[in-house]
Structure formats: structure tokens, C-alpha cells
């Protein structure tokens, strides 16, 4: 049964890899789509993990998978932080800049 838990971790890793690929391609919609996929898988994993335990070998594999996910996450953050800063600037800077007011529709 612990193989099913490992499969969840592998699926999350795959989503993380796809999210990284989208970030590298500057595809913000893709990043958000795969982030949503990962969030669903993580919630399913949490529920399943309450009922099942990993073997020692599976725990080692889980650790390796988690390390790869964390490396992906770090690169995703590095790639997307400039976008988020720009978006924040566009959303707040222009709205409160009295010399160049923006019109909201």
C-alpha cells in the first residue's frame, strides 16, 4: 500500500517539474495551473497518509523526491518573483500614483 503514497509524491514531483518548465517559458498561466494540480495532489496525499505508512525504503525515496521538489520550487520562485514584483507594481503603483492616475474599468 505504501506504493500508492510514493505514487502521490511522484505525481507531485511531476507537477512541480511541469510548473518549472512553465516558469522557464514565462507561462504564468501554466505555472498557476500546475500549482493548482499540485495543491490537489498534496491534499489527497495528506488524507491518504493518515491511513498508510511508508516503509523505510519508501521513506528514503520520499526524501529524494522531496529534495527534487524543493529544488524545483526554489528555481520557480527565482523565476517568478520578478513577474510578481511587476504585477504588484502595476496593481498598486499606478493606482495610488497621483501624478499618473490609472482608470479602472
Per-10-residue mean pLDDT for the chain, 105 residues long? 87 98 95 96 95 93 98 95 73 60 49
> What integer pLDDT is reported at residue 17 of this predicted model?
98
What does the block give as the cell for 31?
505555472
> What integer pLDDT is reported at residue 3 of this predicted model?
81
> What integer pLDDT is reported at residue 101 of this predicted model?
54
Q: How many angstroms separate the CA atoms of 46 and 50, rounded? A: 7
Helix (H) or strand (E) holding 2: helix 2-24
Is the distance from CB of 49 to CB of 6 less than 8 angstroms?
A: no
Amino acid at each position: 500500500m505504501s506504493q500508492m503514497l510514493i505514487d502521490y509524491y511522484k505525481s507531485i514531483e511531476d507537477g512541480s517539474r511541469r510548473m518549472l518548465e512553465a516558469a522557464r517559458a514565462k507561462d504564468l498561466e501554466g505555472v498557476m495551473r500546475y500549482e493548482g494540480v499540485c495543491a490537489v495532489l498534496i491534499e489527497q496525499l495528506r488524507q491518504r497518509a493518515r491511513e498508510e505508512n511508508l516503509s523505510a525504503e519508501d521513506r528514503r525515496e520520499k526524501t529524494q523526491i522531496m529534495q527534487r521538489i524543493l529544488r524545483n520550487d526554489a528555481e520557480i520562485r527565482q523565476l517568478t518573483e520578478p513577474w510578481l514584483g511587476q504585477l504588484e507594481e502595476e496593481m498598486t503603483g499606478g493606482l495610488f500614483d497621483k501624478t499618473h492616475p490609472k482608470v479602472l474599468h
